[in-house]
Amino acid sequence: MTDFARARRMMVEGQIRTSDVTDLRVQAAFGEVPRERFVPPDRQALAYLDRDVPVDGAGARRLLKPMVLAKLIQAATVREGDRVLDVGCATGYSAVILSRLAGAVIALEEDAALADAAVGLTAAAGADNVKVVNGPLVAGWPPSAPYDVIVLNGSAEIVPQALLDQLADGGRLVGVVGRGPIGQATVYRRSGAHVGAHPEFDAVAPLLPGFAKPPAFVF
């Protein structure tokens, strides 16, 4: 039987801290939340590996590898009173991590079965400041905007304009831009009407539904 508590400690020490995640609050959150509870029972042995773990039957939706998720969250500089939109929360693991750092988390998921799972799992984790909502990821969740932080749990091939429009002044959006071996984790920051983008580190992540680049027209 897998010793999940030991595997979780090894994940923090061997994958997260060694990848320049120095924020002690982020380290603590990853050390406390049982990742194995957010993946299907037959994949629990994969929960703490350095890889994206499938959480749906088709294998299209995945929990981001711990190192990438931790570095994205650190780059977002989540503060205790922040309102966060977690885009593509899947079964709710990232939302629970964020709930330990922020004031309130809106966990957006467009797959109804995953959203239902997230409701139960976030409640079981005691994340009372998380609200799971069901809707298209690319549209964000305007009813609770503006947000101080928006986290994309995957990659985008397009500029997520609808999400950028939901950032508060001073707000940050983090996600992986690009697909395949050339992706870059990027931080978008709003200052008044201006939004600037800054690449943070090279990363690869599964493409989120709705964030694919439209196919080019060929004559």
Tens of pLDDT, residues 182-201: 799 999 999 999 999 999 99
Residue 63: strand pairing partners: 53
Residue 58, pLDDT above cutoff 90: no
Residues 113, 56: contact at Cβ < 8 Å? yes
Task: Give the pLDDT of residue 219.
Answer: 52
Domain positions in the chain: 4-202
- Closest alpha carbon to 63 in 130, 17, 109: 109
- Closest alpha carbon to 83 in 170, 147, 145, 152: 147
Q: What percent of the chain has pLDDT over 90?
A: 91
Task: Give the pLDDT of residue 213.
Answer: 87
3-state class of 124 per DSSP?
Answer: helix
Q: 4-202, which class in CATH? A: alpha beta
**Residue 3 is encoded by which pair of tokens?**
């010793």
Cα–chain center distance at 52: 12
Sign of the alpha-carbon dihedral angle for 40, 41, 46, 48: positive
* Distance of alpha carbon 193 from alpha carbon 104, whole angstroms: 24
- Closest alpha carbon to 24 in 63, 64, 70, 93: 70
Pairing of strands 194-202, 184-191: antiparallel
* Distance of alpha carbon 13 from alpha carbon 6, whole angstroms: 11
Bigger pLDDT: 179 or 3?
3
Sign of the alpha-carbon dihedral angle for 101, 112, 163, 187: positive
Residue 180, pLDDT above cutoff 80: no
Mean pLDDT of the chain: 95
Report which residue type is found at 13. E
